[in-house]
Structure 1
Amino acid sequence: MDEGISSERNRDNQSTEYRARITEEKKNRKLAPRQRQIQNRDAQGRLRAFREPTPALSSTPPTSSTSRSSSPDSYEFQPRSPTAPTSPPAIPDSPPADDEMTSSIEPFWGDRPDEYAQDFFRAFNRAMGDKTDDVKRRLFVNYLRADSEADEWYSALPPDVRADWGDIERAFHLRWPRSTIARKTAMEYEEEILAMKLKEEMLGQKEAVAGREVYTHIAWADQIGALVSRAGMAAGTTYIGLVHRALPALIRDRITATPTDWTAFLAIVRNIDIDYIKDGAAEAGKERERVRRFEERVRMLEAQASPTRAIRTQLAQTAITATPTRLGATHTETNPSLTAKGGQGSLTYGVTMQGGAGRGGGGPRPPRAPPTEADRAALRARLAEMVHHPDTDAGRTAHRAQQQAWATKHGPETRVTELTPYPLRPGTLAVNSNECFGCGLSGHIAPRCPLPPEQKLNIREADWRAICRNVLRIPFATPMRYVTIDDYGGVAAIEEIANIEEVEREQGNGDGPSE
């Protein structure tokens, strides 16, 4: 009984020792590196027959196991060879030939406007890499277009020059030197710097720069910084004052210290707190909306209080119809529109009764006395005091301020007279320039003005231009007669009109400016 137990223990110990030895051999075993298989071809490029080489087995005999029990339940482990098969030696890759073109470069012509010789030469040097000067000398001609200007130049080089790469390089740069580019002048840089505006309505927003989002004030600082650097003014203070005054008040108020140079000035702009900018931009947006509503209200009140509103309403009711001659009607004056020479049309409209001092209920108004030289001199003096701004962003802003100041000073219901001159739209002609009262330009009259109604002049500006035309112009030699036809084809009223355009435009007062 004891002998059986002892025999079993010996078998277990031997098995454990054997497994430990095999594990240690596996750890110490080193495999040969795997080699890349190279295709074996003959001189004609055909694949040769390939035979698997016989691995050289290690001559070291495997370690014999210790004596084991012949009992059926004993462990029978077969040891593996610790040496891996030996691979065939690696075949080294053949180096590329010296005349192989290592990069795709467009051949150089030498006379094409869309190619630059210096770019070609640099591309050639990049393609050559670390090749020797002798290789560059031999390969250079292969990069020249055959029978081109560059090829003929190379063929005309002396043999001793073509034999040395340094001489070829010097001859190339002498034949195709670097071009002198047109550089900006100081005045051009000044114009670009001053034209690069930071708009108030864009503050607090983001824009894409080089694939990333940045705030507009930082993007502006980067752009103007690059421009100043190219101009060579980054270390000075040139134009800083002008740019500072053109900044939005929200940014300008944060720059309290005097910057020593452009770098310090732009650093202050970049470091402004973004929350401060966003809050200020929101308040500025509310103020712009309030101003817009105020201007819209002023325009509405001006249209309602216009002195020509009644005339425009009356002329809107005008219609040209054929009025037959009624029997039994007697007239004190023959209607020229109903005669054989005058045709069969007549002008009729609904009459709007207007009362007032010196006016009969809807009767013709008495003609106004023509303006005197004193009236003209006084009007010219008032015109000289007015500022007619150019059609720029600053000019349009100043014009809006003029309109608001006029409405504040005279009131929204005040009529335009010789004593209340109205500001002129930027970009239009001066008064008394034979201009259109619809757009302020020349070449046509108001009834034929091509502008849509919403783009035409403010009605008060049109009235002011009519007043200036009436006072400053030279009266026509033959006045125009404005004939009013009654409901029965007779002449109801005859009024002398001096300015035909003012009647056609549906806005002028035939007898002079507004009272």
Structure 2
Amino acid sequence: METLKPFKGDEDEAQDPQTFLRTFNCIMRLAGVTNEGDKIEALQDYIVPRSEAQQWYDGLSSSQLVSWTELNKAFNQRWEPLPRAEKTLEKYQEELIALKLEEDEVGETKEWNRTKAWTHVIWAREVLQLAKAAGVESNVGLVRIVHKGLPKIIRKLMTQKLTTFENLTTAVKNVDIEDMQREKEDADEWKKEELERENWILQQQKTSLADLTSRLQRLTVQPSPNNTRAPTQPMSNPSPWYAIQQTQSATNAQVPLTDAQKETVRRNTNALLHHPADTMGWRAYHMQVTQWGTTHGNNTRISENTPFPLKPGTATICSRECYRCGTHGHTSRDCPVTPDDPIRLDRCETAWRALCGRTLGSYNRITAADIRLVDTGEQGKEEGSL
């Protein structure tokens, strides 16, 4: 049988009065006490002696001592139930907008109601609950605000038209986990490359500064041939003092592409024909590469306006391929092809494939032919073999 702490009824009492009375009533039912007089008499056994509750009980009228309804009414008059603080619709909307799914949470799991679930699925469920509580399930403006606050990786993989929170949360929950994890790997790899590049630039700056400082320290001031001290003249324009100042050069931080730039990338994925790995295909490919170098220059940085020819026999672009060797089955980070291997793609093609993949996603993965690396053993690798 359920135990119940004796009731004091004073302001210092942490026990909720209504919870106490409801629990007492439950205990009486379980004990089979149905007579209201017996129940009211038993109530005194659950009241602390010489307490405010005892004082209240002693002051009950004769009608209240025989009717549970009357006693319950008197109890609630003495200890009036506190109204529950209800959230306003505005508060629900604030919580809805403030609920964020962080970039580093994408593709991760966490405990929710004793169940391990994907973070984006948990987020979607909580968002839909808040939207319903706020009565804004079909508020397109709020849908767009919440959608804009999603991590870029998830937004990139969502192509549906979203007009309600039901649409939005369903689309988030249905995002392909493999695509999400691949996009996250690509993003992490890009961040790593950017960090390495920035560290290299910083190291170059330190080296240049150290070299310049060393040269200045080797300089000596030559004494004047005439040791006669000239009269001191006031200087109207004193010579300035110079010091070496190290300035941080601006890094080429990647700027998110605009919609127009993304459309240019999409259009240029088909600008150059991807040739087969035969004699004619290789000949046409080499002509494409030569023409590209003539048009853009071999040191040109790859952008949406400089699509680079794809090596014959490699995987279709935007098909979840490795950007370093142009085959499927592994990511660029785990590419087994060494930089000196002829299978390795040109750095410009790697950059072009990476730009397209990060901008457009793996939209060709279903229709593209599966291209895999093959261990040729002692046979050697012919040009273009994969």
| TM-score scaled by length of structure 2 | 0.52
Say yes or no: does 1:250 pair with 2:115.
no
The reply to whether residue 127 of structure 1 matches residue 19 of structure 2 is no
Distance 2:131 2:139 in 1: 10
1:368 is aligned to 240
Q: Which residue of 1 aligns with 2:217?
A: 352
Which has the higher mean CA deviation after the structures are superposed, 241-250 or 220-229? 220-229
Matched residues in 1 for 2:206 and 2:109: separation? Answer: 41
- Are 1:115 and 2:1 an aligned pair? no
Aligned to 1:301: 204
Match in the other structure for 2:77 = 174
Give the length in aligned residue pairs.
233
How far the C-alpha of 1:303 sits from its partner, in A, is 2.9
TM-aligned CA deviation for residue 227 of structure 1: 3.6
**Is the 1:161–1:167 Cα contact (8 Å) retained in structure 2?**
yes
User: Secondary structure in 2 aligned to 1:208?
Assistant: strand
Give the partner amino acid of 2:5: E
Distance in 1 between residues matched to 2:147 and 2:168, nearest whole Å: 9
CA radius of gyration, larger in: 1
Q: Which amino acid aligns with 1:404?
A: T
The answer to whether the 8 A contact 1:353-1:361 is kept is no
Q: Cα distance, 1:403 vs. partner?
A: 4.4
Q: Percent identity?
A: 24
User: Larger helix proportion, structure 1 or 2?
Assistant: 2
- Residues 295 and 181 of structure 1: is their aligned pair in 2 closer, same or farther, counting only changes over 3 Å? farther
Find the residue that maps to 2:74 and give its secondary structure.
helix
Aligned equivalents of 2:211 and 2:37: distance in 1? 94
Matched, 1:136 2:39: yes
Please give the alpha-carbon distance, in whole angstroms, between the structure 2 residues aligned to 1:124 and 1:154: 15
Kept in 1, the 8 Å contact 2:101–2:123? The answer is yes
1:222-243: CA deviation from partner (whole Å, max 9, x where unpaired): 2333444444444544632122
> Contact 1:105–1:124 (CA<8 Å) still a contact in 2?
yes
CA contact (8 A) 2:90 2:134 kept: no
Residues 137/235 of structure 1: CA separation in 2 closer, same or farther (3 Å cut)? farther
SS of residue in 2 equivalent to 1:204: coil
CA distance in 2 between counterparts of 1:103 and 1:127 reads: 7
Match of 2:117 among 200, 204, 214: 214
Q: 1:20-99 to 2 correspondence within 5 Å?
A: none
SS of residue paired to 2:8: coil
Secondary structure of the residue aligned to 2:97 is helix
User: Given the superposition, is the C-alpha separation of residues 188 and 148 from structure 1 closer, same or farther in structure 2, using an over 3 Å criterion?
Assistant: same
- How do 1:492-507 residues align onto structure 2 when only pairs under 5 Å count? none
1:404 aligns with 2:251: yes
> Is the 1:353–1:362 Cα contact (8 Å) retained in structure 2?
no
Cα RMSD (Å) of the superposition? 3.6
Structure 1's 276 and 303: CA in aligned 2 closer, same or farther, altered over 3 A?
A: same
Query: Which residue matches 2:175?
Result: 272
CA distance in 2, matches of 1:271, 1:362: 81
1:117/1:176 contact within 8 Å kept: yes
Q: Is the 8 A contact 1:354 1:362 kept in 2?
A: no
Unaligned runs of 5+ in 2: 225-237, 243-247, 256-386
> Is the Cα contact below 8 Å between 1:137 and 1:162 reproduced in 2?
yes
For residue 155 of structure 1, the aligned residue among 58, 82, 87 is 58
**Which structure is richer in relative contact order (CA contacts within 8 A, separation 6 or more)?**
2
Residues of 1 paired with 2:200 and 2:143: CA distance? 40
For the Cα contact (< 8 Å) 2:96–2:131, is it kept in 1?
yes
- Pairing of 1:284-363 with structure 2 (within 5 A): 284-306=187-209, 352-354=217-219
Q: Structure 1 pair 148/231, CA: closer, same or farther in 2 (3 Å)?
A: farther
